Amino acid sequence: MKCSWSGFWVGLFVVLSLGTGGKLAAHEANNPGVSDREIVIGQTAPYSGPASAFARIHKSEIAYFEYLNSKGGISGRKIRLLSYDDGLSPPKAFEQVRRLVEQDEVAVVFSLLGTAVNISVRKYLNSKKVPQLFAAAQSSSLADPEHFPYTMGLLPTLRSEGRFYGEDIAKTKPDGKVAVIYQNDDFGKDLLAGLKEGLGSERESQIRAQSFEVTEPTIESQIVTLAASRPDILLVFAYPKHAAQTIRKVHEIGWKPAIYVFSGNGSLTSVIKPAGIEASTGILRAAFFKDPTDPRWKDDPEMNEWREYARQHTPDADLSDYLNSSGIAFAKVLEQVLRQCGNNLSRENILKQAQSLHNFPLPLGLPGAVVNTSATNYEPVKFLELERFDGTSWEPVKR
359 vs 302, 339, 353, 363, 369, CA distance in Å? 17, 16, 14, 12, 9
pTM for the whole thing? Answer: 0.84
Looking at residue 367, its pLDDT comes to: 96
Nearest-CA neighbor of 54 among 327, 320, 354, 334? Answer: 327
Residue 283 CA to residue 272 CA, distance in Å, equals 10
pLDDT tens per residue, range 42-83: 999 999 998 898 899 999 999 999 999 999 999 899 999 999
pLDDT given for residue 28 in this prediction: 52
Q: What backbone phi and psi angles, to 5 degrees, belong to 350? A: -60, -45
Q: What integer pLDDT is reported at residue 98 of this predicted model? A: 98
CB atoms within 10 A of CB 367: 11
Strands 38-45 and 108-110: parallel
CA 232 to chain centre: 29
Find, among 38, 7, 32, 36, the residue nearest to 20 by Cα: 38
Q: How confident is the model at residue 357 (pLDDT cuts 50, 70, 90)?
A: very high
pLDDT of residue 99: 98
Nearest to 80 by CA among 92, 68, 88: 68
C-alpha to C-alpha distance for 371 and 366, rounded to whole angstroms: 12
398 has a pLDDT exceeding 90: no
Answer yes or no: is pLDDT of 17 > 50: no
